[in-house]
Structure 1
């Protein structure tokens, strides 16, 4: 499911896409593309749609990107590489599996808040892209990220911190899907900051819903 965007948000981003340095303009165009890909669908969004939102001619877009696919590639590659590196650092810097799991979950909600359209794109495109030439890295990043989470979950289980009677492969999938699917309803500018959402999630994860 794609995320929704507030009316005019892409237009506001586009308003500044015609000026600034080349790198700024490139980033602005990527932001517009990510918004449209996530809200309208990648297949349904054309180069002309992106150019129209940016207030430029379609041909001008090709000064920055060779194709719509190249834009999708850069959006996903930047998102996944940054996420993997943050998760790696959390694993490397912590010798407490529970504290590390807390940090992974906080980092995930922060990523959803900071880059909701990239998260939504990843969720909707991952299966198809993993088999597409040039996008093999999507599956590779996904597997590396999964291994980080599983190592910490298993380490916590072996240390007696996490329950021994649960399957950590299944547990990881429960956590992964419940955390990342929140991109469908979470609003970065809404009432709850990502840290507050993470705190509520961890309360339920560790304590459940029962009062006793």
Structure 2
């Protein structure tokens, strides 16, 4: 998903014909994109509807035409973010040769995660920064998508173990959560001024594989 969509504003009023429906869909998408941007920048607690409205170039009360509440809008962003991470990872893995070594697949997974959350998608950054801050009533749909992404990583580490390339003293489940925690945390500290993203990716690949392999 791209970070930005068109910034022209539309009125939030009932729309009946096909053209109006298209405008309504574009406005809804712009609200989602804007909410993702604000969440990625300010976090769950710091995200206000007014901030989202300003980012989307619409009046704040108009948001209620599209989403019943702030929580409903944020939940949609979180579900979209987790879904985007899963889809991006699946695409990355599918593009590798069928006989790719498990270590190469883990390297590709590291790059897929970091590029998506740091460079490509505010949705991905929003989910990695805020998934643990959501109130309980918002987590069911979000965590279903997050767990689907985690299952991909479970498979990657299990494949490494099956190839006898996982250290004997490493618990696969613990290793998976530590790797994902480190990948998610980069969204909290990395900025282009700290160095190119390629250096972050290369260093992370090296450290992850060094920690996992004998």
TM-score normalised by the shorter chain: which range applies?
0.7 to 0.9
What is the CA distance between 1:105 and its match in structure 2? 0.6
Q: Which residue of 2 aligns with 1:132?
A: 137
Q: In 1, Cα distance between the equivalents of 2:123 and 2:86? A: 17
Q: Which residue of 2 aligns with 1:58?
A: 60
What is the CA distance between 1:183 and its match in structure 2? 0.3
Where do 4+ consecutive residues of structure 1 move more than 6 Å? Answer: none
What is the CA distance between 1:90 and its match in structure 2? 4.5
Q: Are the aligned partners of 1:47 and 1:58 in contact in 2 as well (CA < 8 Å)?
A: yes
Match of 2:72 among 52, 70, 73: 70
The aligned runs of 1:1-212 (5 Å cut-off) are 16-18=7-9, 21-91=23-93, 94-95=98-99, 96-112=101-117, 113-116=119-122, 118-126=124-132, 128-129=134-135, 131-132=136-137, 135-187=139-191, 191-193=195-197, 195-207=198-210
Secondary structure (helix, strand or coil) at the match of 1:163 reads: coil
Call closer, same or farther: CA 1:189–1:65 in 2, change over 3 Å. Answer: farther
Call closer, same or farther: CA 1:185–1:116 in 2, change over 3 Å. Answer: farther
Call closer, same or farther: CA 1:54–1:143 in 2, change over 3 Å. Answer: closer
TM-score, normalised by the number of residues in structure 2: 0.73
Call closer, same or farther: CA 1:85–1:34 in 2, change over 3 Å. Answer: closer
Call closer, same or farther: CA 1:207–1:58 in 2, change over 3 Å. Answer: closer
Call closer, same or farther: CA 1:43–1:207 in 2, change over 3 Å. Answer: closer
Segments of structure 2 that go 5 or more residues without pairing to the other structure are 11-21
Normalized per residue, which structure has more helix?
A: 2
Secondary structure (helix, strand or coil) at the match of 1:111 reads: helix
TM-score, normalised by the number of residues in structure 1: 0.73
